[in-house]
Chain A
Amino acid sequence: MIIDTPEVQDINSFSRFEFLKETYGIIWTLIPIFTPVLGITIGVLVIVWLEREISAGIQQRIGPEYAGPLGVLQALADGSKLLFKENIFPARGETLLFSIGPSIAVISILVSYSVVPFSSHLVLVDLNIGVFLWIAISSIAPIGLLMSGYGSNNKYSFLGGLRAAAQSISYEIPLTLCVLSISLLSNSSSTVDIVEAQSKYGFWGWNLWRQPIGFIIFLISSLAECERLPFDLPEAEEELVAGYQTEYSGIKFGLFYVASYLNLLVSSLFVTVLYLGGWNISIPYIFVFDFFEINKTYGVFEPTISMFITLAKTYLFLFIPITTRWTLPRLRMDQLLNLGWKFLLPISLGNLLLTTSSQLFSL
């Protein structure tokens, strides 16, 4: 009996080839996703370090200095310490809600990074509803906070969770209306289109100059959405021990910590994209244009420069929230809600109508 071995081998190698191709395809789709995850993690570590160093500078302390050169690795050391800490579940709490809460907070904020453009092609998904997706997803995070506040079975946590939800829904609407004005100016909700609409006229083409009121409202509301200090009522130390985080320990507390810094980074990135011209170098009449023309053939240089510019703008902007933290005192709950509903909401509606009218004249 003769077995036609070459044929069998052919089939084998073919099937293996198919299998390889499939694996290769999967890996090829996963690499561009894992790279941003890694980048985001590093970005968060940088923010934590920046915040600690700037805070130390403001308060005339030294700040982290032992872990690595200039204390760069301090955040990493803190995170790995939290991994080794015991996970305590409060005896009377809801274990399921208690664990799902921080996960939802982290996931919903991480997912909103998928629409942030770092360069004209360096964006995970260029959806035509880009910013809208961000707004929709970022409003899932308060559900996680509410769940963790409820699941802790602690009065402080419960009140903190309620406050977090009330605060983020109050400031969601001014934020959405500001983004609406921006997408009206650029006739698109895609983040890439919004940046490209600002690329003309260099520095003066930024939406910051066309939407000064919107920029200020966006700044205030994004501070409130991140629960940064003038608006950190959900975790006000003097009243509610640590708000919804009171019962958390170990890595679950770490997830909340990461979520708050992820939120800060993403809102700063969106300020860059929506108001500060994104990846454009934004200095008109300078050699850069010729410089780019020469180097366009290489294909790697331009995305790198674009990403560098985006990140530089983002981290420079981050100085504002961090210094605000040590400058302004905390608001009261009624002041917070009054500011949101009776001041920012009418002004952002007025800003929208003003933008619409000015666009109408330019039609």
Chain B
Amino acid sequence: MFLLYEYDIFWAFLIISSVIPIFAFVISGVLAPISKRPEKLSSYESGIEPMGDAWLQFRICYYMFALVFVVFDVETVFLYPWAMSFDVLGVSVFIEALIFVLILIVGSIYAWRKGALEWS
């Protein structure tokens, strides 16, 4: 079972830092002037009338990079416990970690060759 009493101050800090933007919004809501006009509220598109919807299709590349990111991020999360107790675990676990990293390197070379890391 986890004992999270260490995190008490962390949670308090989180609450206080979440209060800061709310506080800023409230002060600005009280102080700031309000004057609504249709031209002012329309979205900016270099001074002309906005054409069509802004939520348009975008490049598939963003998804590819996000996928590769998830792979490597999970890898580093798995490597952290190993790195923290490296002096205890020794050579055999180092070889296991090396194999783990090598598999991922092979995966990244595959992604590279298949063009997942290409922008154009």
Q: Could you tell me which A residues sit within 8 Å of B by CB distance?
A: 29-30, 32-34, 36-37, 82-93, 99, 102-103, 106-107, 110-111, 114, 124-125, 127, 132, 150, 152-159, 162, 165-166, 169-170, 172-173, 176-177, 180-181, 183-184, 187-189, 241, 246-247, 250-252, 254-255, 333-334, 337-338, 341-342, 345, 349, 352-353, 356, 359-360, 363
The distance in angstroms between the C-alpha atoms of A158 and B10, with both chains bound, is: 33
Neighbouring A residues of B87 by C-beta, 8 Å: 187, 359, 363
The distance in angstroms between the C-alpha atoms of A254 and B20, with both chains bound, is: 12
Neighbouring B residues of A345 by C-beta, 8 Å: 72, 108
Q: Could you tell me which B residues sit within 8 Å of A by CB distance?
A: 6-10, 12-14, 16-18, 20-22, 24-25, 27-29, 31-35, 38, 40-46, 50, 53-56, 58, 62, 65-66, 68-69, 72-73, 76, 79-80, 83-87, 90-91, 94, 97-98, 101, 105, 108, 112, 117, 119-120
A-B contact count (CB 8 A): 192
Closest to A159 in B: B58
Closest to B34 in A: A86
Report which of A84, A125, A159, A188 forms a contact with B31, defined as CB distance below 8 A.
Answer: A84
Once A172-B73, A250-B28 are accepted as A-B contacts, the answer to whether A106 and B20 lie under 8 Å apart by CB is yes
Q: Nearest-CB distance from A282 to chain B (Å)?
A: 25
Interface contact A158-B76, CB-CB below 8 Å: no
The distance in angstroms between the C-alpha atoms of A83 and B21, with both chains bound, is: 12
Closest to B53 in A: A153
Assuming A37-B20, A90-B41, what are 7 further A-B pairs, CB within 8 angstroms?
Answer: A127-B6, A127-B7, A158-B56, A183-B84, A189-B80, A251-B25, A349-B101
Once A33-B13, A106-B20 are accepted as A-B contacts, the answer to whether A154 and B54 lie under 8 Å apart by CB is yes
Neighbouring A residues of B25 by C-beta, 8 Å: 99, 251-252
Once A162-B62, A334-B120, A359-B86 are accepted as A-B contacts, the answer to whether A111 and B13 lie under 8 Å apart by CB is yes
